[in-house]
Amino acid sequence: MKYEPVIGLEVHVQLNTKSKMFCSCSTKFGSEPNKNTCPICIGMPGVLPVINKEAVNLTIKTALAMRCNIAPFNRFARKNYFYPDLPKGYQISQYELPLAKGGHIEIVLDGNIKRIGLTRIHMEEDAGKLIHGENLGDKDSSYVDINRAGVPLMEIVSEPDIRSPEEAKEYMTRLKAILEYIEVSDCNMEEGSLRCDANVSVRPVGSKEFGTKAEVKNMNSFRFLQKALEYEIKRQIDTLEEGGKIVQETRLFNPDKGVTVSMRSKEEAHDYRYFPEPDLVPIEIDSRWIEDIRATLPELPDAKRERFVKDYGLPEYDAEVLTTSKAIAGYFEDCIKLYNQPTDRGIQGQAKIISNWVMGEVLRTLKDEGLTIEKYHVTPQMLAGMLKLIDNGTISGKIAKTVFEEMYKTGKSPEDIVKEKGLVQITDESAVIKVIDEVIAENPKEVADYKGGKDKLITFFVGQVMKKSKGKANPQVVNKLLKERLTS
Amino acid sequence: MKLSIKEVEHVAELGRLELTDEEKNRFAEQLSNILTHIEKLNQLDTSNIEPTSHVLPIKNIFRDDAVAQTFGSEGDSLSNAPDKDRGYYKVPKIIEEA
């Protein structure tokens, strides 16, 4: 039987605030354990939480960017459960009245646009962090750090519209791009600012009903997300094929083994007894508040992608790659502004040249070094400067690769590199003629063959001259002079 | 409304309480009496009344996003902890995987 996977993602996003959701403790990552705590976030009796307005603003901003409907009336609820990382014994969250419903994210796969619907976006607070004994001190104990407890989160829940691990990865990529564009989160997956759980089930192709789902947790990179989903889908299909049944449960992804493992400890007593949080008053969001936030929205990735295609004549693929990150898109546009040469190529021709360099050398070196574009050695000034050196004939396109490599390694300007390394293209005809004459003298047989009618040998001579000049001779000049010397 | 022993056991489990058989029977009866009493509210027609989650007619109480340190010196947050080590609360081992 043929099966299709049905996937929905629950994404937790740490909001970019200085202080916690309900108290004034810092949200700074990597502080000493239990340093960023106060009676409110360690759950002392008699304290009163107060909502951080910025956290609400950022959630509204996200809801607008994802085209959701924003609820005019909001309130928080208590979600009750016992776990050592949860000091109060309940998490303050939103339940039956989330801040936003509906909305969607567009993904592009193989040139097709697909909409993944959003069920809801709600606000909540994070829990603390547990370190297990084998990693610190006594192996029969666990250690609790409350610094993260109370940090503002929003949870973005998708509809079960995702049909493959690739779609899931693309959804996360687009979601992250939007969150970064609107600057509501730093989206650092290693530090846990962006976390993803997946609800996965499989069903026979053509079936309208959903199969029993499992919830997969602990996928803290895009690669792990894809691997975990691939494993889980195969596991479920194999189970069904062998006549087994899928159990509704939570499963942890083990990145070392590449498998998902049943997590039985938390299964019992999933009875959260939600009720309205009595310590917090409701939030009413009116249209004025919404419009104030809407006015702060920047150009979003989809709009930028369309503009890059329209204004710069870029292929869809280039526009997609360049706009995945706001910083890369900014780098690209800075290059365009700085390059801006009065050539017959026009803005579109120039844009494609820059796009090729950014998608090629720039993204490759960034990836190799694990750098972000903000800390990148080769500034837009340097890249544009190098392209100008090609245009005015100082260097050849081939030498440019060497210049780029040097800029990247040393951070020096292209002009300095060309001077220091003696990479200036030889356009002086007498210097080129000298090399050509040497080549002619060294290859009498080829010269005779060429004169005998083997025109194609010209590429051999060009190659020899370029080699002798260490790639510095101007190819157009070489071509022109070679023909002259060979026929004279 | 009659609460079964099984329901009492479930509620005790959620509250991490260990009850003797005698307690389970006693609490089943007491809790049943309380629920029966509360059930009287169901006799009222509340179909046109908004559910009340808060008794005060106030809304939109916020704080600005500013950091303030409330625990001054190091270790304040741990001063009531039954067990601690290296700045952490120390608790019995939590097993995450089965």
CB contact under 8 A, B93 and A132: yes
In eight-state DSSP terms, residue A248 is: P
CB contact under 8 A, A84 and B91: yes
- Give me the amino acid identity at A61: K
Phi, psi torsion values for B3, nearest 5 degrees: -95, 130
Give the nearest chain A residue to B56 (CA atoms).
A281
**Alpha-carbon distance A22 to A51, whole Å?**
5
CB contact under 8 A, B63 and A24: yes
- The pLDDT value recorded for residue B75 is 58
**Alpha-carbon distance A238 to A244, whole Å?**
8
User: Does the pLDDT value for residue B98 go beyond 50?
Assistant: no
The torsion region of residue A65 among left (phi > 0), alpha (psi -120 to 50) and beta comes to: alpha
Q: Which residues of chain A have pLDDT under 50?
A: 267
3-class secondary-structure state, position A74: strand
Q: Which of A24, A217, A265 to mutate to probe the B interface, most B CBs <10 Å?
A: A24
User: What are the domain boundaries of chain B?
Assistant: 5-42
Asked whether B32 and B1 are in contact (CB, 8 A), the reply is: yes
Other Cβ atoms less than 10 A from the Cβ of B34: the count is 12
Give the nearest chain B residue to A254 (CA atoms).
B97
CA distances from B75 to A40, A79, A120, B78, B80 (A): 16, 29, 39, 5, 10
- The pLDDT value recorded for residue B73 is 56
Question: Angle CA(A27)–CA(A31)–CA(A33) in degrees, nearest 5?
Answer: 105
Q: Is residue B22 less than 8 Å (CB to CB) from chain A?
A: no
Give the nearest chain B residue to A262 (CA atoms).
B98
- Residue A468 or B71, more confident: A468
CB contact under 8 A, A75 and B61: no
**Alpha-carbon distance A436 to A430, whole Å?**
10
- The pLDDT value recorded for residue A187 is 92
Cα dihedral A187, A157, A80, B60, rounded to 10, equals: 80
Asked whether A276 and B54 are in contact (CB, 8 A), the reply is: yes
3-class secondary-structure state, position A87: coil
Sorted by sequence, the CB contacts under 8 Å of residue A345 that are 6+ apart come out as A353
- The pLDDT value recorded for residue A269 is 55
Nearest-CA neighbor of A280 among B70, B67, B62, B51? B62
User: What does DSSP say about strands A152-158 and A194-204: parallel, antiparallel, or unpaired?
Assistant: unpaired
Strand ranges in B38-92 using DSSP code E only, listed in sequence order: 62-63, 84-85, 88-92
Asked whether A42 and A20 are in contact (CB, 8 A), the reply is: no
Whether the model pTM is above 0.90: no
Task: Tell me which of 1.10.20, 2.60.40, 1.10.3470, 1.10.150 is the CATH number of domain B5-42.
Answer: 1.10.20
3-class secondary-structure state, position B84: strand
State the average pLDDT for chain A: 90
The tens digit of pLDDT for each residue in A324-379 reads 888 999 999 999 999 887 666 777 788 999 999 999 999 998 888 888 888 888 99
CA dihedral sign of residues A291, A295, A299, A303: positive
Nearest-CA neighbor of A125 among A149, A146, A96? A149
Sorted by sequence, the CB contacts under 8 Å of residue A4 that are 6+ apart come out as A163, A202, A203, A204, A205
- The pLDDT value recorded for residue B96 is 59
Name the CA radius of gyration of chain A, rounded: 30
- The pLDDT value recorded for residue A268 is 54
